Structure 1
Amino acid sequence: MPTRRPTADEALLLDNQLCFALYSASLAMTKLYKPLLDELGLTYPQYLAMLVLWEGDGLMVSELGQRLSLDSGTLTPLLKRLESAGLVSRMRDVADERRVHVHLTPAGRKLKARAAKVPECVLAASQCSIPELLQLTAQVRRLRERLVA
């Protein structure tokens, strides 16, 4: 249903800013995740990398970076820390040494079972139904795609 265009003053109200709603929700989400991920010994970016690797082990660093929207300057130190923690190993491709594959170690695979409680905790804290969260996630993903395009 179409609504009227906000006045200039209304458009500048903090509570009318999509960017602030997303930013403050992100801060709240990070605060929610912190103790859950501390139990796993992961930072939030490390958790995201592990999620991608749990979906498909043995990805190239470049593929991992694409999935996470991270450049190699950010991703390389993150992977080094995961490797130091014994969760992943990095191996150069024998056919092309510029390509590096990231593999889960047995400890990295085992961590997935412990991480399984994280989504349930987020679902409970959100006080949303699963369909609501799926719809919200899809809307935010579409927004991101439009902004990037």
Structure 2
Amino acid sequence: MAYEKTLRLDEQICFALYAATNAVTRAYRPLLAEIQLTYPQYLVMMVLWQDRRSTSRSIAERLQLSANAVSPLLDRLEDAGFIRRLRDRRDRRVVHIALTEQGSALEAAASKAQHAVLCRTGLDPDAHHRLRDDLAALAVHMTAEPEVID
């Protein structure tokens, strides 16, 4: 790959990702506020809607966050009545997270929010899947051991 020494903001993939992430998150914000979730809380809830229960450690790993970043999210979700925490009887360090009825009931409204944001992207289903797959592949490449560039 050719290395270009001139930095131009509009040519940077990091800026394109940053701007797109901000735009998508802003699109979600008012829709999620209607169901009393922030975007990071929504991500936690998506893990639970998909898996039905998990551990705090598994949620952190799945979202590629530290346990310290997930803990306050779980605190607020528990305070809102959307989840409950249960300590493992055999290993007290393990905290199981389960949806409450109220948390399960949010899934339908969250699905509508997700659909509304997807429609705003203007992407057809094939383009959406390609973009998602390309971004997932980019994340894998970026977390792999870096190549040495001379």
TM-score category by the smaller chain?
A: over 0.9
Task: Say if 2:41 is the partner of 1:46.
Answer: yes
Task: Say if 2:24 is the partner of 1:21.
Answer: no
Matching residue of 1:94: 89
Share of identical aligned residues, percent?
Answer: 40
How much has 1:143 moved relative to structure 2? Answer: 0.4
Cα distance in 1 between the residues matched to 2:65 and 2:2? 36
Deviations 1:33-84 (A, max 9, x none): 1111111110111000000000012211111111011111111111000000
Question: Which of 61, 65, 72 is residue 70 of structure 1 equivalent to?
Answer: 65
Cα distance in 2 between the residues matched to 1:31 and 1:130? 22
Task: Say if 2:5 is the partner of 1:8.
Answer: yes
Task: Say if 2:76 is the partner of 1:81.
Answer: yes
Question: Which of 134, 137, 143 is residue 138 of structure 2 equivalent to?
Answer: 143
Cα distance in 1 between the residues matched to 2:140 and 2:97? 26
How many residues are matched? 144
- The one-letter code sitting in structure 2 at the alignment partner of 1:102 is I
Cα distance in 1 between the residues matched to 2:96 and 2:52? 9
- The one-letter code sitting in structure 2 at the alignment partner of 1:50 is M
Mapping 1:101-140, distance limit 5 Å: 101-140=96-135
How much has 1:101 moved relative to structure 2? Answer: 0.2
- The one-letter code sitting in structure 1 at the alignment partner of 2:41 is Q
TM-score calculated relative to the size of structure 2: 0.92
Unpaired segments ≥5 residues, structure 1: none
Cα distance in 2 between the residues matched to 1:126 and 1:47? 19
How much has 1:6 moved relative to structure 2? Answer: 6.9
TM-score calculated relative to the size of structure 1: 0.92
Q: Secondary structure of 1:23's match?
A: helix
| 1:53–1:104 Cα contact (<8 Å) kept | yes
- The one-letter code sitting in structure 2 at the alignment partner of 1:66 is E
